[in-house]
Amino acid sequence: MRSSTAADPGPFLRIRIDKSSPVPAYAQISDAIKKLLTPGAIPAGTPLPPERVLCEHLGVSRMTLRQACDALEREGYIESHRGRGTFVAPRRMQKKQQEMRSFTEEIRKRGMTPSSRLLMFRTIKAAGSDLDFFGLPETELLYELERVRMADDSPIAVERIHLPQYLCPNLDRFNLASNSIYKILEENYGLKLAHCTEEISAAIPSKAHRQLLQVPSRSAVLVVHRKTYSDKETPVELAMTTYRGDLYTAIVYSVRSAT
Ligand code: GLP
């Protein structure tokens, strides 16, 4: 039997790799570690066994192990701290781009309770990018709504959306702090929200956003601009959501086309 050099071998040393598999060893290691970490069973901050111990256990070179760890770190599963070692990273909510969800659905799916704080609701004239996207005359009015979006009472995002008034007249009769906008649009205005495009970028939050999101000054946020269309290809929503960069990861699913 192999003698274990780690005091507590832990779940990481139960990982095995299949040398006869066509899947490269580093990918097998990172997949196995992801599986261990995905259910949140191993608390954030738990150290991974030292590199030497893992290499010996898995029968791989340091280079292979580092390749696996680099990938895991890029995807936010682990964090390495110079001189201290590698640790399980705090659980991030993964934003799966291929599924168009409302904030409410996304948070519930993760077993948390969504809520919102309404910061602003007003009617504005269509201007600038609204005119291009909605294809409306300048006389048309839009609703502008700003909310802080929360999961289990912690702020996750600040969201500002524009919706054409003609699609959802008298939207103000609903409680917009406690209800899902997508649900209101679908159940009360007969709209079928079908697809969206999103542009994702990193940004340094404004002071106001820092305060609303309760993040320190030297932090980054993920800004997502969403354009939402109905099943009839009607432009329905122009949204800008500013997510806490420490809690959100954007995962983009792409399929290689045949051409
Ligand atoms: C996400 C999208 C927004 C959308 C919102 C609707 O956060 N990025 O564009 O407006 O969901 O969420 P809900 O239906 O919970 O109000």
pLDDT digits (tens, 9 = 90+) for 22-38: 898 999 999 999 888 87
Predicted confidence (pLDDT) at residue 258 exceeds the cutoff of 70 = no
pLDDT at 2 over 70: no
pTM given for the model = 0.65
We report the CATH number of the domain holding residue 50 as 1.10.10.10
Quick one: tokens of 194? 């079908």
Q: Does 1 reside within a domain?
A: no
Is 19 contained in some domain? yes
Give per-residue pLDDT as tens, 87-136. Answer: 998 776 665 556 788 999 988 987 889 999 999 999 999 888 888 899 88
In testing the pocket of ligand 1, which one of 159, 179, 183, 238 has its CB within 8 Å of the most ligand atoms? 159
For a pocket test of ligand 1, which of 102, 105, 142 has the largest count of ligand atoms closer than 8 A to its C-beta?
102
Q: How confident is the model at residue 257 (pLDDT cuts 50, 70, 90)?
A: low
The Å distance, Cα 20 to ligand 1 centre, comes to 46
Residue 173 alpha carbon to ligand 1 centre in Å: 18
Q: How many domains does the chain have?
A: 2
For the Cβ of 97 lying below 6 angstroms from any atom of ligand 1, the answer is no
How many CA atoms, within 13 angstroms, populate the side-chain half-sphere of residue 118?
Answer: 14
Is 238 inside any structural domain?
yes
pLDDT digits (tens, 9 = 90+) for 61-73: 999 999 899 888 8
Residue 65's domain comprises 10-88
Q: Which of 88, 118, 148 is a domain's end point?
A: 88
> What is the distance between the alpha carbons of residues 29 and 163, in angstroms, rounded to a whole number?
46
> Do 226 and 235 form a contact (C-beta atoms < 8 A)?
no
Q: Are 81 and 75 in contact (CB under 8 A)?
A: no
The minimum-distance atom of ligand 1 relative to the CA of 104 is 15
**Distance between CA 78 and CA 33 in Å, rounded?**
9
DSSP-derived secondary structure for 42-78: S-TTPBPPPHHHHHHHHT--HHHHHHHHHHHHHTTSE
Q: Is the CB of 242 under 6 A from ligand 1?
A: no
- Ligand 1 centre to CA of 244 (Å) is 15
Is 181 inside any structural domain? yes
CA nearest ligand 1 atom 8, residue? 241
